Chain A
Amino acid sequence: MNSMKEEFIGILKNYQGILHKVNLIYFRNPTDREDNFQEIVYQLWKSFPSLQNKNSLGSWIYAVSINTSLLRLRNESRIEYREDPPDSIDKTDILEELSKNEHCSLLLKAIYKLNEMDKSIMLLYLEEKSYAEIAEILGITLSNVGVRISRAKEILIQNLKNC
């Protein structure tokens, strides 16, 4: 159990950037991001023992992170209100930091205007994932990936013009 946990934490440490980025495109509030981060970690831990192919760790982490975030978005109205954010939340918010970079800030604003599925597709595209990887994570065909990316890109460009 302990060796499995150590292995899991090791993987999580190397791949935690994925969790942060999925959080970033779906949640603007730092408290929601922190709560969702914890939930993703828990969902990853739950499915870790049944993980068959450890060569596609990235795809597994993306899929779990996106699925967990989508479910949380639906339940967002039930998220408890906290006056003081938990101590574990970073004092400097990433969104504040990114707002100093004009391009980043514009890009994020445009991404926030996309629908939930297009956000995931755009994230995977920006992360320079191959079509095959995107197809595996989203569970759609390769040809559909191309169509979805170009459509999401068009909307993103339109959103950027409006920003």
Chain B
Amino acid sequence: METTEFQNAWKNIDSEINLKSTDELNFILQTKIRKTMNKFLIIFGIDVIVCAGLLVFLTVTAINRQADVIYLVNNSLLGLITLSALFISLFSLKKLQNNKSDLSVKDWLEFRIRLLSGWLSGKYSKLYIILVPILIIMINLSIHVYYEYKPLPEVMTNMESVFGQIVGFIVALAVSLYALKKIRKYQLKNLEYLKSLLSALQ
């Protein structure tokens, strides 16, 4: 097959394409918009429900333990972190949806690489290694101390409680780090894929 024959053969494709009518295109657009909105609302809903649930728990337990200052500080800090996490996750979701696919292929690839690199190797990319264990300890304390019906310093002197806390901490830490590692691995593969596309273009 010669070069000019490629183009002639390609022209035959036009006649085989089943073009969609205006109504079909309208339907596709409306369905896709609805699906995307629903997807966003589901993620948003889960995010809000989990955070709201945790905030309600922290508030109720704090009200019931007004005399325990350390417990109140623990719950207040957790509340602040939960609210910040909610805003950051919604901001990230919005950023992720801003695909900027109208850029040229090279610019779009560079934009996606910059975005992913920022998350995976940016200034705060390793912050989770410090934050996750601290958060687990604080959540463990908040739940455990509340259901022990004793002040926090007293619970921490009980060997059985401390042992339970340590076991709970190790299990929760292992599960959280495993999940985060999986997500990072997936995103790293994405980054490698985009970089390979960019290098193929250069």
Contacts and interface: CB of A to CB of B under 8 A. Distances in A.
Interface of A: 5, 8-10, 12-13, 16-17, 20-21, 24, 37-39, 41-43, 45-47, 50-51, 60, 63-64, 66-68, 70-71, 74, 88, 90, 92, 94, 97-98, 101, 103-104, 106-107, 115-118, 120, 126-128, 136-140, 144, 148, 153, 156-157, 160
Contact of A117 (B1, B18, B197): B197
The 8 nearest A-B residue pairs measured at CB: A139-B104, A139-B106, A47-B102, A103-B9, A117-B200, A126-B10, A42-B32, A67-B101
**Size band of the B side of the interface?**
35 or more
B190 interface: yes
Contact of A9 (B16, B19, B22, B103): B22
Given A17-B17, A46-B99, 20 more contacts: A9-B26, A10-B22, A13-B22, A17-B19, A38-B32, A42-B29, A42-B36, A45-B33, A47-B100, A60-B102, A63-B104, A67-B105, A68-B101, A70-B109, A88-B27, A104-B10, A107-B6, A120-B105, A126-B10, A138-B105
Interface string B106-123: 111100100000000000
B12 A104 contact: yes
> Residue among B3, B20, B99, B101 with the most chain A CB within 10 A?
B101
A157 B3 CA distance: 8
A136 B190 CA distance: 25
B193 interface: yes
A118 B19 CA distance: 26
Given A67-B108, A139-B105, A88 B197 contact: no
B154 interface: no
Contacts of A92: 18
Interface in B70-121: 99-109, 112
A115 to B, nearest CB: 6
Contacts of B108: 63, 67, 139
